[in-house]
Amino acid sequence: MNQKAVFIDRDGTIVEDVPYCNSPRKIRLLEGAGKAIRRLNDQGFLVILITNQSGVARGYFSEETLGEIHNKLKEDLGYFGAHLDDIFYCPHHPAQSCTCRKPATGLIDQAVAKYGLDISGSYFIGDRLIDIQAANRSGCQAVLVPYTLPETDYFKLEISVDSRPSFLAGDISAAVDWVLADALGKASVSVVIPTLNEEKNICSVLPRLRCVPGIAEVILVDGRSTDKTVENALRLWPEIKVINQPGRGKGDAMRAGFEAACGDIVVTLDADGSLAPEEIPCYVGPLFDGYQMVKGSRFCRGGGTSDMPLFRRFGNFVFTKMANLVCGCRYTDLVYGYHAFRRQILGSLCLKSDGFEIDTEMYIRATRKGLKVKEVPSYEAKRLEGAGKLRSFHDGARILRTILRESVNG
């Protein structure tokens, strides 16, 4: 049982979701679906369609028509050199309480029995929570590709344990990117959180982080807190890795966290609640598509901030323009600490900064090293409790010195 498969839902996952689609003419492949399935074919996965089709029982179309629809789907995939190895469907009405209609596992069980599949090494990609439930109950990993409500409001839902996916993807292409990386053991994610007296804020951040799919480990780097930051973190996340910061400053804490991280991907997250853990999939996804670093921006389209006075906005604008001019960067936000990167690039960056300027150092050096960097929109909220650690003029001077130093050393 060494053969592995990728089970794929149909409507809303690889084709447009047409309610009770009753004609081959209504089949429309979603953008990227053909190429994505071709990649799975090329990597030796069996690609098996698993779909509920209660329209048969409801009398909206016959099984013969359903066969014609699936033949049209196969024909469309063929234009991309892609193919489905098999199709399993449930024709029953939900009221019939059959064992094959998702979230029941009957269709997956049939495929496993027919092909002798290694279910633990297989995956399921779908757009609905019932797909995720079927996958989890079967023992394979699940990828959610939200297509319509309520799944597109994933982080607003009350998610049961068997409805939690292994990864949350933006589309079928991103889902396949993750599947192929995970199959090679290169998809684990570490989250590094520097802390200093954040006992109240950490109680909000960690429960939100717990809802984010695909987190392998969380590393809390504590700068000698005198409150209950560490105690609260361990209570909320018993498996969290706590490190006592060796020196002082945000940069020193981040470097310590990076060194301790074991994941293939490292994400940094502030402990004050200003950065949304729910954005993590937007940072991680591009790293499975060839990017080596993904950084947030409050000033590209879709981004924003409610925690930046006018004088700091002006300072960030000047620093960003300066770095773009003298260091060859093309950023819209230089002084923002939300980012994710492939851990393997750390050696080439040779980070030395101890303070808030470490983000600037990272971004400039990534550009200078020719790394593939992507900016994604991000929203920065106000810190939840307490006073921030950033000292505008003191830390601004350190950022300026970093830009000048990098422009000379580059």
Residue 318's pLDDT is 94
**Tens digits of residue pLDDT in 23-80:** 999 999 999 999 999 999 999 999 999 999 999 999 999 999 999 999 999 999 999 9
Give 244's strand partners. 222
Q: Which of 11, 127, 171, 264 is catalytic?
A: 11
**Tens digits of residue pLDDT in 265-284:** 999 999 999 999 999 999 99
Q: How many angstroms separate the CA atoms of 405 and 410, rounded? A: 8
188 close to 210: Cβ distance less than 8 angstroms: no
Give 245's strand partners. none
User: Cβ contacts of residue 365 below 8 Å, gap of 6+?
Assistant: 348, 349, 350, 351, 406
Q: What is the DSSP string of 224-254?
A: --SSSHHHHHHHH-TT-EEEE-SSSSHHHHH
Please give the average per-residue pLDDT across 313-334, as a whole number.
94
Token reading at 354: 């101890």
**Closest-CA residue to 41 (of 181, 176, 182, 135):** 176
Q: Which of 9, 131, 177, 252 is catalytic?
A: 9
- Is residue 114's pLDDT more than 90? yes
**Tens digits of residue pLDDT in 351-385:** 999 999 999 999 999 999 999 999 999 999 999 99
Residue 175's pLDDT is 97
What domains does the chain contain, in order, with CATH numbers? 5-183 (3.40.50.1000), 189-409 (3.90.550.10)
Q: How many angstroms separate the CA atoms of 94 and 25, rounded? A: 26
- Is residue 225's pLDDT more than 90? yes
- Is residue 164's pLDDT more than 90? yes
Residue 1's pLDDT is 65
Kind and range of the H or E run holding 347: helix 346-349
Would residue 9 show up in a list of annotated catalytic residues for this protein? yes
- Is residue 2's pLDDT more than 90? no
Please give the average per-residue pLDDT across 217-243, as a whole number.
97
Q: What is the DSSP string of 7-33?
A: EE--BTTTB---TT---GGG--BPTTH
Of 256 and 307, the structure prediction assigns the larger pLDDT to 256
Residue 394's pLDDT is 82
Which of 114-123, 133-142, 378-387 has the weakest average pLDDT?
378-387
Residue 410's pLDDT is 65
In the chain, the percentage of residues whose pLDDT exceeds 90 is 92
